[in-house]
Amino acid sequence: MSRTDGALQADGGGHPGRSGVPGTGDQPVLVVEDLGVSFATPDGPVNAVRGVSFTVDSEEVVGIVGESGSGKSVTMMAVMGLLPKTATVTGSVRFRGEEILGLSEKELRRHRGNHLAMVFQDPLTSLNPVFTVGNQIAEAIRVHNAMSHKEAVERAVTLLELVGIPNPRQRAGQYPHEFSGGMRQRAMIAMSISNNPDVLIADEPTTALDVTIQAQILEVLDRAQAAACSAIVLITHDLGVVAGMADRVLVMYAGRAVENGSVDDVFLHPRHPYTLGLLESLPRLDSQGHERLTPITGAPPSLLHPPPGCPFHPRCRFAQPMCSEVVPELRFVGGLGQRASCHYAEELEAVETGAP
Amino acid sequence: MADLAPPPVGLPEPATSDQLVEFGVEATSQWRRVLRRFLRHRLALASLIVLLVLVVASFMGGTLARYRYDDLTADFSTGPSLRHWFGTDTIGHDTFAQVLRGARRSLLVAFLVAALSTSFGALIGALAGYYRGIIDLILMRFTDLFLTIPTLAVLLVVAARYRGQSGNWLAISFVIAAFAWMPLARVVRGIFLSLREREFVEAARALGANDRRIILRHLLPNSLGPIIVNATLLVGTAIVIETALSFLGFGIAPPDTSLGRLVAEGAVASRTRWWLFYMPGLYLVLISLCINFVGDGLRDAIDPQQKRVRA
Amino acid sequence: MLAFTLRRLAVSIPVVIASSFIVFVLVATAGGDPLADLRLRPGVSEATIQLRRHQLNLDKPVLQRYGIWVKGAVRGDLGRSVGNEEVRPLLLRRLGVTMRLVLFATLVSVIVAVFIGSMGAVKQYSKFDYTATFFAFVFFSMPVFWLAALLRDQGIRMNLRLGRRLFFVVGEQTPGLSGGFVTVWLDRLGHLILPSLTLVLIQMAAWSRFQRGSMLEVLNADYIRTARAKGISSARVLFHHALRNAMIPVVTVVAIDFATILGGAVITETVFGWTGMGRLLVDALKVQDVNVVQAWLLVTAVLVVVFNLLADLLYGYLDPRTRTT
């Protein structure tokens, strides 16, 4: 599928050939159902992801939140098909109705960088040090478009300008090590939207950067999304980022999806003890002085020998006997489309975090 | 919100802490883990055994072998047989005994070189890495300069002075050691340079430890791993260097013999009496190969690097 | 790039000077006694010995002797050998011969090593990888002299069995060969095979393992993941992105090992009877030919420095990050 029609317009105007109005979307762009990823290790199989389901509508922002090791990155890497051969992926991933899990490398390559693009955490190591930035962006374009090198570099310069890099033409001829951290990430974002992807996956895009740059990068992401009319899947461990940018959020713990819903619903009415714990552990602006932070006790479980039943039950202050026996399903609870995997999700209604 | 919200009505008591699942980690000493990893490396283990056999045979050979190296038997120029495992030479020497004798000398030189170079190299490297300054400068320039001249050439020049002098194996050892300590010194220097910036050194100093204590009790033990690996590989390098020198006629002189000299003598007759050339050569190659496998196994055991391709 | 080159050049010159000093002092103090031969001869008077000593400047302090020698060297006069031959032309003639061997062997080794090492990394833990690693160990555990003598022996045997001279085992060319450029060089190439095979087998073994490690590191790098995420074909990821980066450290290793290869050439030339620089050293040392030895070491040091300089430049070209330092 060539993208020569989608000349990137800096004002983010309409694109011919796109289905649906931003936001509502007749059909979700990405549907993940019961995704499971397990790695073969010398010590036995490790289930990094189990039974994760979520959807991404066109042009919406979905945040995936979780601790390190919760499986959030692995989930999206599985969607892109970028996991090593030691990984076994089960379940279903449908992009615009087409099943992409289990496709051959050749077929997957059609989508990668084209309809499904990814931005990684550390822009210094994610860019090839021996080629110029302009070259690398041009390469991303030429893989999926019949275009001369010169034309592609021109496009690259336009993209660099879009993401707010000054002197884009000069910069395009420079090497990654000549860029600052924030600029590198901008360049990575430019590269990822170069083919107007339907879904842009950002894997912890701000974690490796200074706090002061983080807000800028998020703003760039926002701008990029508008220009390319993409949906964004934003992977982060920072709840604040999710609150600020995302429309819907998926909370992951120990490889499972524990809560899923609109940001408002999940943040204001959490239906899973883990989400509750996360929200409670945040320092609050309106707290009265010397209040201690309330962390979640304990540590994440070993994925090699996960605890029986609900993976969170060892740390859950509401745990009941059933929690250590039966694995809770991700089911609908209250609200519009909010889902949680807790046996006692309804009872949690009685515990409110209090609106910010 | 001050404390945890009290459990709401309708839910019984909260979970107790013994239900917390922790990782089960048993504390094993670092060296035991190294040993375990080494033993898992089958090739290195097998090589170690073979190497021990070869070394023991070389040094005990005098008492074990049927013939002494200077025995003149009645069998001239016979090939390998049950009586003479490696055959005999023109005047009836048993080649097996000769090889063992040559190996004895070559191994002795190699071990001596490794011991001398490692001690000296570690000392200089430690001082250079810890104190930096002028010692470091001299060391680095010095080693850099000697990198521009082939080691073999330099050794030949210096060894030429002792050429043909009987009993020169000790001198040869010192000559080789004089140039073999440099790579090790650089390695130790590198380790010390990086370690001295670490927090535990700062902590030790804050507790009042003096320089000598820090070097000996903190930094040196941490460098022991690479030092051991280097020392092992150095034995292999040293034996190859010594035999090369002897082969060219600049190493161990008669009445002593070395595997290198045996190979040189055998090379002349290799077409008609192949065992005189191949036997000492294979013995040497086997020693060198085993040392390399063992050294590699040690390196993996001490510093395992999971270099599996990610995606 | 130009500034980078000039800077590297500027640094090289003091290195050569320092090397020349070390070399001279080494030979003067630790080397053999040039008069040893004379002393051993019966009927030679003390006066003769002292005269010779004075002629060779041996009665002057080391520093002064160094000065005399360097002045001569800069002028191009490196003295005369024991056989009363002018050292400089002798050395240069021999150098050409050795360079053929060394450069050919280095080039072939690099190409083969990069290929095998990269394959081993891409197909990690495969049968190819294990076999290649094993043979790499076998070959770099082998002493040069034994492998050289072994190939020579096997070459002779093969010749005998086939009844004709397939392998050349003596010298670097057939003496007195008449013919045009092509004939001469084909003959030389034929003579090159066994000696360079010796050096190649050992050097390639070491370098392929290094390349494998380098390639593995690169394949695990984040930018390779990015390249794949862009939808680039595996072939392009491998050759354009991975290999290009993996080869950079190899350049450094080749530069460092150049001196070792020269050492290997010394042994190989001796075994195969080449009239190159290598054998010249051995012969000169046997007769305590001080002038030749000193000149040899000087020329070698210059050679290594030049080679390192070229490698540095190549490195700077390949890795843009170093150009700013």
pLDDT in tens, C117-155: 999 999 888 899 989 999 999 998 999 999 999 999 988
B20 occurs within a structural domain: no
Cα distances (Å, whole numbers) of residue B139 to A56, B33, B115, B158, B182: 62, 35, 20, 21, 8
Considering the domain boundaries, does residue B197 fall inside one? yes
- For chain B, the residues whose C-beta falls within 8 A of a C-beta of chain A are 1-5, 7-12, 14-15, 17, 19-23, 308-311
In a domain, B173, yes or no: yes
Which DSSP symbol is given to A87? E
The yes-or-no verdict on residue A156 having pLDDT over 60 is yes
> What's residue B14's pLDDT?
38
Which residues in chain C have their CB less than 8 angstroms from residue B310's CB? 219-220, 225
Average pLDDT over residues A228-253: 90
The answer to whether the CB atoms of A82 and C233 lie below 8 A apart is no
More confident residue, C185 or A36: A36
B81 part of a folded domain? no
The mean pLDDT value for B153-162 works out to 86
pLDDT at residue A215 is higher than 60: yes
Residue B2 binned pLDDT confidence (cut-offs 50, 70, 90): very low
Sort A209 into a burial class: Cβ within 10 Å, 0-12 / 13-18 / 19+.
buried
Best of A106, A121, A126 to substitute, by most chain C Cβ atoms within 10 angstroms, is A126
Q: Distances from the Cα of A251 to the Cαs of A275, A278, C199, in angstroms?
A: 7, 10, 60
CA–CA dist B235, B114 (Å, integer): 5
For residues C299-316, give the mean pLDDT. 87
Taking CB atoms and an 8 Å cutoff, what residues of chain A touch C245? Answer: 128-130
Expressed in angstroms, the distance from the first to the final Cα of chain B is 46
Percent of chain A with pLDDT over 90: 38
The nearest alpha carbon in chain B to A83 belongs to: B311
Q: Under an 8 Å CB criterion, which residues of A touch B?
A: 77, 82-84, 86, 280, 284, 287, 291, 294, 297-299, 301-302, 307, 313-320, 324, 344, 347, 350-351, 354
Cα gap A62→A23, rounded to integer Å: 12
C266 touches chain B (CB under 8 A): yes
Determine the residue of chain A that is closest to C320 in CA distance. A130
- CA nearest to A179 within chain C: C321
Which of C222, C232, C320 faces A143 most closely, judged by CB atoms?
C232
Mean pLDDT of chain A: 84
Dihedral over Cα of A318, A320, A324, A325: its sign: negative
Q: Which residues of A touch B19 (CB under 8 A)?
A: 313-314, 319, 324
| Domain presence at residue B83 | no
A43-52, A112-121, B186-195, C47-56: range with lowest mean pLDDT? C47-56
What percent helix, strand, coil does chain B show, rounded to 5?
Answer: 70, 0, 30
CA A337 to centroid of chain Cα atoms? 19
- Count how many residues are written for chain C: 325
Instruction: Say which residue, A356 or A347, is predicted with more confidence.
Output: A347
- In contact, A236 and A204? CB cutoff 8 Å: yes
* Mean pLDDT, range A88-100, rounded to an integer: 91
Chain B residues within an 8 Å CB radius of A350: 8-10
Between A284 and B176, name the one with better pLDDT. B176
In a domain, B272, yes or no: yes
Name the residue with tokens 């390190």. A68
- Domain-located, residue B6: no
**Would you tell me which residues 239-268 of chain B have a C-beta closer than 8 angstroms to some C-beta of chain C?**
240, 243-244, 247-250, 260, 263-264, 267
Q: How does residue A24 score in pLDDT terms, banded at 50, 70 and 90?
A: very low
The pLDDT of residue A294: 76
Q: Quick check: B106 and B243 in contact, CB under 8 A?
A: yes
Contact between chains at B158 and C30 (C-beta distance less than 8 A)? yes
- Of the two residues A20 and C222, the one the predictor is more confident about is C222
Interface touch C297/B149, C-beta < 8 Å: yes
> Contact, C228 vs A82, CB < 8 A?
yes
- The pLDDT-based confidence of B306 (bands split at 50, 70, 90) is low
Interface partners of B (3+ CB pairs, < 8 Å)?
Answer: A, C
Instruction: Please report which confidence band the pLDDT of residue C82 belongs to, taking 50, 70 and 90 as the band edges.
Output: low
Listing DSSP states for B249-281 in one string gives TSSS-TTS--HHHHHHHHHHTTTT-HHHHHHHH
Asked if residue A124 lies in contact with residue A181, where contact means CB atoms within 8 angstroms, the answer is yes
DSSP A114-182: TTEEEE-S-HHHHS-TTS-HHHHHHHHHHHHS---HHHHHHHHHHHHHHTT-SSHHHHHTS-GGGS-HH
Which chain B residue lies closest to A286 (C-alpha atoms)? B1
Max mean pLDDT range (A74-83, B122-131, B143-152): A74-83
Beta-carbon contacts below 8 Å between A and C:
66
Q: How near does any CA of chain C get to the CA of B25, in Å?
A: 28
DSSP A171-222: HHTS-GGGS-HHHHHHHHHHHHTTT--SEEEEESTTTTS-HHHHHHHHHHHH
pLDDT of residue A240: 86
Q: Is B176 helix (H, G, I), strand (E, B) or coil?
A: helix
Cα angle for residues A250, A252, A253 (degrees, 5° grid): 160
For testing contact with chain C, the best of A79, A114, A128 (most C CBs within 10 A): A128
Q: Are the beta carbons of B308 and C22 separated by less than 8 Å? A: no
Kindly give, in sequence order, each residue whose CB lies less than 8 Å from that of residue B126, ignoring residues fewer than 6 positions away.
Answer: B188, B189, B192, B215, B219, B220, B223
What's the pLDDT tens digit per position in B15-30? 333 333 334 444 557 7
Q: What's the whole-number mean pLDDT along residues A230-236? A: 92
> Encoding tokens for residue A272?
């899973």
Residues of chain A contacting B311 with CB distance shorter than 8 Å: 77, 82-84
Which residue type sits at C48?
A: T
- Chain C hits for A82, Cβ within 8 Å: 225, 228-229
Whether B195 is covered by a domain: the verdict is yes
Mutate to test the interface with C, among B142, B143, B149 (most CBs of C within 10 A): B149
**Token representation of residue B272:** 């008609």
Total domains in chain B come to 1
- Please report residues of C whose CB lies closer than 8 A to that of A114: 231
Q: Do A117 and C229 touch (CB under 8 A)?
A: yes
Instruction: Supply the range of the domain harboring residue B265.
Output: 33-68+89-302
- The sign one gets for the Cα dihedral A130, A135, A137, A139 is negative
- Please say whether the dihedral angle defined by the alpha carbons of residues A171, A172, A173 and A176, taken in this order, is positive or negative: positive
Domains and CATH numbers, chain A: 1-13+23-115+199-215+231-356 (3.40.50.300), 123-196 (no CATH)
Band (pLDDT 50/70/90 cuts) for residue B86 is confident
Search chain B and give the residue with CA nearest C256: B147
First to last CA, chain C: 11
* pLDDT band (50, 70, 90) for residue B309: very low
Say yes or no: C199 contacts chain B, CB-CB below 8 A. Answer: no
Q: Is the peptide bond before A166 cis (omega within 30 degrees of 0)?
A: no
pLDDT, averaged across chain C = 85
Hey, which residues 10-49 in chain B have their CB within 8 Å of chain C?
A: none
Q: How far is CA C115 from the centre of its chain?
A: 22
CB–CB of B61/B101 below 8 Å?
A: yes
Question: Who among A111, A120, A130 is closest to C226 (CB)?
Answer: A120
Q: What is the CATH number of the domain that holds B289?
A: 1.10.3720.10
CA distance C298 to A343: 83
Chain C: nearest CA to A37, how far in angstroms? 18
- Going by pLDDT thresholds of 50, 70 and 90, the confidence category of residue B164 is confident
3-class SS of residue C262: helix
pLDDT at residue B287 greater than cutoff 90: yes
